Amino acid sequence: MREVNPQSTSRAQAFELWMKAPNPMVTFFKTVDVTRLVRMSRKKGYKFNMLLDWCIGKAASTIKEFYLLPVGDKLMQYDNLAVNTIVKNNTGEVSSCDILYTDDIDQFNRQYMEYTSMVAESRNDRDLSGECMVIGTSAIIDTEIDGAVGMNSGIFNNPFLIWGRYRKKCLRYKLPISIQFHHTQMDGAHVGKFLANLQEVINNLH
């Protein structure tokens, strides 16, 4: 990662408006049709959350604002994206695992399976935040939820997605998802584009 002058980016005005705001985080809610992910998971043996994590990375990868992130009082530029997943470790508690996004879904799957297993066994977080812009995720799979609003810690400004268990209705599977983002990093239109991209990526997965 490298520091950039906010005035040289499309986020110059947002940097001035939101960097010192008491609560610069915004949360959107969206119900996504994940029927294709459920069917692909069952047919090919992929984990559902791995598929969704890959689709999140794919949907974000074409939106340039996802490669910027306010860190402290600076604006940082990244060349790569990673998707974070929360792992239940061998003590029953949770650990954090960052997976480097790649366009190759099979390569991403190999990374996912290797590193989530490693983190679960070692209980040591895998952190790529110094190398990649990390998109956080948390899957609350024990229950159905309509969405969640994350906290404004002032430390972690990364976009963060939360979802629960998917729901079956009329032979389709639907999943409510929330995404929290820092207004300095992007505007609502960028997140709207990301969510549209996410549904398109899921629909075209094969």
**Which tens digits make up the pLDDT trace of 53-93?**
999 999 999 999 999 999 999 999 999 999 999 999 999 89
Say which CATH number the domain at 60 has.
3.30.559.10
The Cα 66–Cα 134 span in angstroms is 9
**Which tens digits make up the pLDDT trace of 95-117?**
999 999 999 999 999 999 999 99
Kindly state whether residue 96 falls inside one of the protein's structural domains: yes
Range of the domain at 75: 25-203
Kindly state whether residue 120 falls inside one of the protein's structural domains: yes
The tally of domains found in the chain comes to 1
Q: Is the dihedral of CA 50, 55, 58, 60 positive or negative?
A: negative
Residue 154 — very low, low, confident or very high, per pLDDT cuts 50/70/90?
confident
Query: How many CA atoms are closer than 13 Å to the CA of 56, on its beta-carbon side?
Result: 28
Kindly state whether residue 193 falls inside one of the protein's structural domains: yes
The answer to whether 109 touches 46, Cβ cutoff 8 Å, is yes
pTM of full prediction above 0.85: yes
Kindly state whether residue 82 falls inside one of the protein's structural domains: yes
